Amino acid sequence: MDMKDKEREYIINTYGRDPVSTPLITAGEGVYVWDDAGRGYLDFLSGLAVNSLGHCHPEVVDAIQTQAAKLMHTSNLYYTEPQIRLAEQLVTHSAMDEVFFGNSGAEANEAAIKLARKYGKAHRGPDAYEIITAEQSFHGRTLAAVSATGQPKYHQGFEPRVGGFRYGIFNQLDSFAELVNEATCAIMVEPIQGEGGVYPASREFLTGLRRLCDENDLLLILDEVQCGMGRTGALFAYEHYGVVPDVLTLAKAVGGGLPLGVMGARGEATEVLTPGTHASTFGGNPVTCAAGEAVMKVLLTPGFLEHVQQVGQYFTERLSTLAQRWGKEVRGLGLMVALEIEGDGDAVARYCLENGLLLNCIGGNILRFLPPLIIGEEHVDAAMNIVSSALSAESSG
């Protein structure tokens, strides 16, 4: 049996991969991946914002290999060095005071949800457990994280949802303010909605949420699973807004390609989870944390984030030119950008794939780009040529 037939035979079909058009990727280096037929692809999706330093970044590979040969796992019954060092780096370079390690974005958000409920009970009373999240948000697929996610299509068939989530309208402060009552314990949003279509929060909205939380003793949880770790040209997206969260969740790029999730907490929020209240067997594993240390080191190299800002700006300008001709709108920040088009986005994405460019389409007409942060203008030009021909091809039917 061929590999793709075996996939169909042995793997539960949650991803809907298509045996004809979906490539089987066998290798990656820098901004490129290759499939089993030896075809190369310019990767403007980075494994969904995970491979932010490009594929197989030598410093990440070296950190993983060295640590794997030394100690792979001991459980959290014991201290391990990479975990403590990565925590120190994350705390030093963020507004967070302490962190908890898990293995994914959903788990980081689960930890944040548990923390918020416990905080609410202690600070606002036994019935303060509601968390206000945004419509069109995405917080992950575990039952609580998917309940926090304000998109009915992700709930369908899994009801009843975990209780205690209410949904406000993103970028409409009033709609959040109206939902605050004595049952509320926290507000959780993505500074830039990713899965929902790449919608940046407005400054007014995020600063307003911060004020709302301060006035009502609520925790402000920012989900930076997708937009954090340098993606927007700042180490963390909240830096663009002058807003500091009480709880910050990270995953995707933080482990350099290995599964790692982080929930950071600040101030009183660090005191909420106590021994025995939360745990993860793998969380903060030595190998994933060693990879995370290497990622932090590269992101903090002088000039790295400036590069993300510059190439992000160039990319946005190139996309805006395309948008004048084909599109409705260009949105985003740094290297988390989208082009919303009038035509069939899925057809455009398919054309790009066939012509050696990976990107994805959300909601039928939003082309989402999450390229490695190490791309240069020449890669943007190459990608734009393909997208441009794809748009021409699509419009001529």
Which member of 138, 165, 176, 369 is catalytic? 138
User: Residue from 28, 47, 54, 105 that binds ligand PLP (CB under 6 A)?
Assistant: 105
User: Residue from 140, 164, 168, 255 that binds ligand PLP (CB under 6 A)?
Assistant: 140
Ranked by CB distance to ligand PLP, the top (closest) residue is 105
**What distance in Å separates the CA atoms of residue 147 and residue 139, rounded to the nearest whole number?**
9
Min separation Cβ 39 and ligand PLP, Å? 27
Scan residues 188-227 and list those touching ligand PLP (CB under 6 A): 190, 194-195, 223, 225-226
Scan residues 46-65 and list those touching ligand PLP (CB under 6 A): none
**What distance in Å separates the CA atoms of residue 156 and residue 338, rounded to the nearest whole number?**
27
Min separation Cβ 137 and ligand PLP, Å? 8
Q: Does 338 bind ligand PLP (CB under 6 A)?
A: no
4 is catalytic: no
User: Residue from 104, 133, 171, 280 that binds ligand PLP (CB under 6 A)?
Assistant: 104
Q: Does 326 bind ligand PLP (CB under 6 A)?
A: no
Q: Which long-range contacts (CB under 8 A, 24 or more apart) does 337-342 make?
A: 337/198, 337/312, 337/368, 337/369, 338/197, 338/198, 338/362, 338/366, 338/367, 338/368, 338/369, 339/366, 339/367, 339/369, 339/387, 340/197, 340/365, 340/366, 340/367, 341/365, 341/366, 341/367, 341/391
128 vs 360, beta carbon nearer ligand PLP: 360
Please state whether the peptide bond connecting residue 160 to the residue before it is cis, i.e. omega within 30 degrees of 0: yes
Q: Does 138 bind ligand PLP (CB under 6 A)?
A: yes
DSSP-derived pairing of the beta strands 247-250 and 219-223: parallel
Those residues whose C-beta lies under 8 Å from the C-beta of residue 97, and which sit 6 or more positions away, are 91, 264, 265, 266, 267, 270
The single residue listed with the structure tokens 């800002």 is 309
Which member of 176, 252, 315, 369 is catalytic? 252
Dihedral-angle region of residue 18 (phi above 0 means left; psi in -120 to 50 means alpha; beta otherwise): beta
Q: Does 45 bind ligand PLP (CB under 6 A)?
A: no
User: Residue from 139, 231, 266, 379 that binds ligand PLP (CB under 6 A)?
Assistant: 139
Q: Which stretch binds ligand PLP (CB under 6 A): 30-38, 54-62, 104-112, 380-388?
A: 104-112
195 vs 293, beta carbon nearer ligand PLP: 195
Smallest Cα–Cα separation from 362: which of 193, 173, 200, 229? 193
Which member of 100, 165, 223, 236 is catalytic? 223
3-class DSSP assignment, residue 10: helix
Min separation Cβ 374 and ligand PLP, Å? 21
251 vs 330, beta carbon nearer ligand PLP: 251
Q: Does 106 bind ligand PLP (CB under 6 A)?
A: yes
Scan residues 225-284 and list those touching ligand PLP (CB under 6 A): 225-226, 251-252
223 is catalytic: yes
180 vs 260, beta carbon nearer ligand PLP: 260
Q: H helices of the chain, where? A: 3-10, 46-49, 58-68, 81-92, 105-124, 143-148, 152-155, 173-177, 203-216, 286-299, 304-326, 345-354, 377-395
Contact residues for ligand PLP (CB under 6 A)? 104-106, 109, 138-140, 190, 194-195, 223, 225-226, 251-252
Q: Which residues are catalytic?
A: 138, 223, 252
